[in-house]
Amino acid sequence: MITIALAGNPNCGKTTLFNALTGATAHVGNWPGVTVDKREGVCKKGDKPVTVVDLPGIYSLSPYTPEEVIARNYILDSKPDCVINIVDSTNLERNLYLTTQFLEMDVPIVVALNMTDELDKRGDRIDSKLLEERIGVPVVRISAFTGYGIKDLINRAVAAAGRPRKGISVLAGTSISDAVSQVADRMNDETQSPVFHAIKLLEGDSVERSVHKKSASYADKLLSEFDDPLFGNDIEALVANARYDYITKHFSPALYRKETGNTLTRSEKIDRVLTNKWAGIPIFAAILFVIFHITFSEDFLFLGAMGLLGRAWGAEWVCFEGNAYFEGLFGSSAGIMSPGVMLANLLNGITGAVQGGVSGGLEAAGAAEWAVGFVGDGVLGGLFAVLSFLPQILVLFLFFSILEDSGYMARVAFILDRIFRRLGLSGRAFMPMIMGFGCSIPAMINTRTLADAKERTSTVRVIPFFSCGAKLPILTAMAGGMIGAFGVGDAGLITFLMYLAGMITAFVAIIAMRSTTLRGELTPFIMELPNYRMPGFKSTMLHLWDKCKHFIKKAFTVILASTIIIWFLSHFSWNWTFLSDEVMDGSILASIGMLIQPLFTPMGFGAQLNSAGWVFAVAAITGLIAKENVIATFGTLAASVVSGFALDEALEGVDAVEALIGATGVSGAGCIAFILFNMLTIPCFAAVATARGELPKGKFGWTLLFWAITSCSVSAMIYTVGQFVWPIAIWLLVLAAAATAVVIWNKKNPLNKEIKSA
Ligand code: GDP
Ligand code: MG
């Protein structure tokens, strides 16, 4: 079977084309750097099946970034039968820069003019026949998005694969062309693609020079006598300039732009606002807040908040809360619920009914007490506790997918680059971080786009702090439970603040690492901003499914198995007798929980809690397997350890947490500390395994230690501050007053003035 490689600039639609050709569902994103590694599939769209390889996006074939090295080595070493060079036709000239480099290799090339649907919409036109004549290789108009031209493309690529091609250079006729042909002639017997290698050697490409040492010194000899009137002997600049000149002279005539009076494109207009130096970050924060509000808030229209204000000012008429209109599925005493919460409640109603029905049915059929408890609490309680968060995860990820696909996230990376530089990171690190909100595993793999090993290590370490989908149930359930138990707060706000706390921890940790153990150089961050695009329905849904399928799969495998084990350990004593709910404290699990409980005392959810408090310790430990386990553990255990609930009563998610808060007497600060502990501590097994693979040798053990220490110290700090707000505030005031006094005294002290003036 012949092999066809897809190559092109970042964001030109390689992965979309790859998916269209192979029927794969690889991750498509409207930002550069989504595909870091190459990927293979089989395409049956043409007349015969071919192997298709999706390469990472590159702007040139110099060895400056890992992507460039992967793509270049693949084409030179693995020798695909044909390279399809995908060109974003809405950005023709810039994309053809890479094409001029591919032309220099001894490999059949077919140019695919992609995004022609968008080009048509703009009213621009490309004469592909003319372009084909000028470039000298087949040029096919396609739209990876709509499927237009794809079959034709594959057939022409297969045809081209059968005809060997010699590399040609667009540098002919420039001052360097003699040197190029002399070096290339020398290298003819030594290697394939001599023209390509010759140009790279003359440009001073370090990788090439170390491989072809003899020819390199020959090139040096030629260069010592070389002097261009414009560029001197800066060959790299000369070559780049010559390529652009050639493109404008010979390729650009194929492009007809629609005449418009307005010089700003739509994207540029939007960008004037969204990437504004001052407004950019506040807008991003506002967008995030709105997303969290729509997903998590129980008070969607701020009716509850308005009521509180109204009461304070004596305006009773704005007090909607408690209004019977809003009670029920769509509202609560707090106001009208957000769409995310409504969906969650709907699902909870269904799962609650199923759980109640099954338990009730078993009881009615005369099943033993342990069997009813096992099925109701153990299996269904744990499973539903996790699944009940699926609606909110879906809503949140839907928004993230839209932000990503529309091209906005790439802007955020650009806006943040300025700040990131101060922290010691490049804007490139933002992409893996944002991916971390979905799942740490692909995010850690994506750090391969970071060229510097130390920057990479520090980014891998903080990725878990960008709370992933599996940690979301912890946030939501704890926030909801806290509001129920303490009677104050807003779930959307608490969740938002927790995400923020994770991010702040990440940035503080980055600063600390980059200025101590992981100090290093920063490479410049070059990123082209993609055009804004309406996210496609199919790609958004694929994206969503991609993010949720792991969650669902995990729920029915790892989580289900863990809940069953937890149920058994919590309902049997060491001498293997079944325990009823009243004497759960004698169970195997309870005694293990109580043993490790003191570890969590400084964080507010340890030994200071009442009898059922060991559940928090157990949940924190089970979370190390998978973070969903934290809430599954609550779901499995709550109805049993909290007295006053019937066996068939559904108690999961928010209700379970609320009951546990009441029974254990954990404080609000303890709850927040618990969330932060789970968010910042060692991530799930799968993520730990990934980190192990991605980190350089010798860094893995330190990374585990880093996670353990960060989570313990941050949550202990939050607990201490929250628990002792007043004493701490008073001490801080005293300290501040003392410091001020010292400063003032120093200023007044004549001795000091003398020292300064001396
Ligand atoms: P890659 O970085 O080259 O792999 O690019 P992707 O395949 O991830 O695509 C980048 C963006 O361009 C995504 O938002 C795609 O939905 C969009 N896209 C890809 N091909 C087309 C096309 O033919 N027409 C339009 N309008 N959009 C496209
Ligand atoms: Mg891609």
Return contacts of 146-151, CB within 8 angstroms, 24+ apart.
146/117, 147/20, 148/116, 148/117, 149/112, 149/116, 150/17, 150/20, 150/21, 150/45, 151/45, 151/46
Residue 572 DSSP code: B
More confident residue, 396 or 506: 506
Ligand sitting nearest the alpha carbon of 21: 1
Please give the structure tokens belonging to residue 273: 């606002």
**C-beta 401 within 6 A of ligand 1:** no
The closest residue, in CA terms, to atom 24 on ligand 1 is 115
At 643, the pLDDT band (50, 70, 90 cuts) reads low
Residues with CB under 5 A from ligand 2 (ion): 15, 34-35
For a mutational test of ligand 1's pocket, the pick from 27, 91, 145, 540, i.e. the residue with the most ligand atoms closer than 8 A to its C-beta, is: 145
For a mutational test of ligand 1's pocket, the pick from 9, 19, 27, 28, i.e. the residue with the most ligand atoms closer than 8 A to its C-beta, is: 28
At 523, the pLDDT band (50, 70, 90 cuts) reads low
Q: Which of 604, 343, 577, 377 is nearest to 476 (CA)?
A: 343
The closest residue, in CA terms, to atom 14 on ligand 1 is 30
The one-letter code for the residue type at 456 is R
Least confident of 314-328, 586-600, 649-663, 729-743: 314-328
Residue 635 pairs in a beta bridge with: none
596-617 pLDDT tens trace: 999 999 999 988 888 788 899 9
b vs e for 216-249, b when ≥16 Cβ sit within 10 Å of the residue's Cβ? bebbeebbeebeeeebeeebeebbbebbbebbee
Contacts of 605 (CB under 8 A, 6+ apart): 613, 616, 617, 620, 664, 666, 670, 671, 673, 674, 677
- DSSP secondary structure letters along 263-292: -S-HHHHHHHHHT-TTTHHHHHHHHHHHHH
Q: How many CB atoms lie within 10 A of CB 370?
A: 17
Residue 585 is predicted with a pLDDT of 75
127-158 pLDDT tens trace: 999 999 999 999 999 999 899 999 999 999 99
Percent of the chain with pLDDT over 90: 32
Nearest atom of ligand 1 to the alpha carbon of 28: 8
b vs e for 305-339, b when ≥16 Cβ sit within 10 Å of the residue's Cβ? bbbeebeeeeeeeebbbeeeebeeeebbebbbbbe
Q: Which of 195, 169, 154 is nearest to 4 (CA)?
A: 154
Residue 82 pairs in a beta bridge with: 4
**CA 446 / ligand 2 centre spacing (Å):** 12
**Beta-strand (E) ranges in 136-208?**
139-141
The answer to whether the beta carbons of residues 338 and 298 sit under 8 Å apart is yes
Residue 334 DSSP code: T
Most trustworthy range by pLDDT among 32-41, 100-109, 235-244: 100-109
**Mean pLDDT computed over 743-751:** 74
b vs e for 663-681, b when ≥16 Cβ sit within 10 Å of the residue's Cβ? bbebbbbbbbbbbbbbbbb
**3 state DSSP class of 108:** coil
Ligand sitting nearest the alpha carbon of 143: 1
Q: What is the CA radius of gyration of the chain?
A: 31
**C-beta 30 within 6 A of ligand 1:** yes
Residue 320 is predicted with a pLDDT of 57
**Rounded (5°) CA angle 493-437-692:** 135
More confident residue, 583 or 277: 277
Q: How many CB atoms lie within 10 A of CB 396?
A: 24
Nearest atom of ligand 1 to the alpha carbon of 12: 3
**CA 131 / ligand 1 centre spacing (Å):** 22
**C-beta 145 within 6 A of ligand 1:** yes
Q: Which of 108, 118, 149, 128 is nearest to 7 (CA)?
A: 108
**C-beta 14 within 6 A of ligand 1:** yes
For a mutational test of ligand 1's pocket, the pick from 16, 124, 403, 537, i.e. the residue with the most ligand atoms closer than 8 A to its C-beta, is: 16
**Mean pLDDT computed over 229-249:** 88
At 714, the pLDDT band (50, 70, 90 cuts) reads very high
Cα–Cα dist 614/591, whole Å: 8
The answer to whether the beta carbons of residues 44 and 24 sit under 8 Å apart is no
263-275 pLDDT tens trace: 667 778 888 888 8
Ligand sitting nearest the alpha carbon of 539: 1
Residue 115, pLDDT > 90, answer: yes
The answer to whether the beta carbons of residues 186 and 180 sit under 8 Å apart is no
The answer to whether the beta carbons of residues 604 and 678 sit under 8 Å apart is no
User: For residues 659, 660, 661 and 663, what is the CA-based torsion angle, rounded to 10 degrees?
Assistant: 90
**CA 627 / ligand 1 centre spacing (Å):** 33
At 88, the pLDDT band (50, 70, 90 cuts) reads very high
Ligand sitting nearest the alpha carbon of 13: 1
Nearest atom of ligand 1 to the alpha carbon of 35: 4
The answer to whether the beta carbons of residues 249 and 217 sit under 8 Å apart is no
At 566, the pLDDT band (50, 70, 90 cuts) reads confident
For a mutational test of ligand 1's pocket, the pick from 9, 11, 141, i.e. the residue with the most ligand atoms closer than 8 A to its C-beta, is: 11
**CA 13 / ligand 2 centre spacing (Å):** 7
Helix, strand, coil share (%) of the chain residues, nearest 5: 65, 5, 30
**C-beta 12 within 6 A of ligand 1:** yes
As a three-state string, the secondary structure of 648-716 is CCCCCHHHHHHHHHHHHCCCHHHHHHHHHHHHHCCCCHHHHHHHHHHCCCCCHHHHHHHHHHHHHHHHH
Q: Is the pTM of this model over 0.75?
A: no
684-704 pLDDT tens trace: 888 898 898 889 888 999 999
Residue 502 is predicted with a pLDDT of 94
476-514 pLDDT tens trace: 899 989 988 888 778 888 888 999 999 999 999 998 898
Cα–Cα dist 406/478, whole Å: 32
**C-beta 15 within 6 A of ligand 1:** yes
**Mean pLDDT computed over 566-593:** 81
**Rounded (5°) CA angle 52-56-62:** 120
Cα–Cα dist 135/549, whole Å: 44
**CA 286 / ligand 2 centre spacing (Å):** 29
CA dist 179 to 166, 185, 235, 238, Å?
18, 10, 11, 13
> Chain-centre distance of CA 749, in angstroms?
55
**C-beta 449 within 6 A of ligand 1:** no
**CA 92 / ligand 1 centre spacing (Å):** 15
**C-beta 532 within 6 A of ligand 1:** no
Q: What is the mean pLDDT of the chain?
A: 85
Residue 546 is predicted with a pLDDT of 74
**3 state DSSP class of 230:** coil
Residue 286, pLDDT > 80, answer: yes
The answer to whether the beta carbons of residues 99 and 107 sit under 8 Å apart is no
CA dist 56 to 109, 657, 731, Å?
17, 45, 55
Residue 517 is predicted with a pLDDT of 83
**C-beta 667 within 6 A of ligand 1:** no
Cα–Cα dist 326/61, whole Å: 62
Residue with tokens 């400084």: 602
**CA 5 / ligand 2 centre spacing (Å):** 13
**C-beta 536 within 6 A of ligand 1:** yes
The answer to whether the beta carbons of residues 366 and 411 sit under 8 Å apart is no
Residue 114, pLDDT > 70, answer: yes
Strands 335-336 and 331-332: antiparallel
At 644, the pLDDT band (50, 70, 90 cuts) reads low
**C-beta 143 within 6 A of ligand 1:** yes
Ligand sitting nearest the alpha carbon of 29: 1
335-357 pLDDT tens trace: 677 888 888 888 888 888 888 88
| Backbone dihedral region for residue 302 (phi beyond 0: left; psi -120 to 50: alpha; all else: beta) | left
Dmax (CA) of the chain: 99
Residue 29 is predicted with a pLDDT of 59
Residue 574 is predicted with a pLDDT of 87
Please give the structure tokens belonging to residue 247: 């493109």
Q: Which of 624, 630, 622, 555 is nearest to 589 (CA)?
A: 622
Q: How many CB atoms lie within 10 A of CB 278?
A: 7
Ligand sitting nearest the alpha carbon of 98: 1
Residue 564 is predicted with a pLDDT of 87
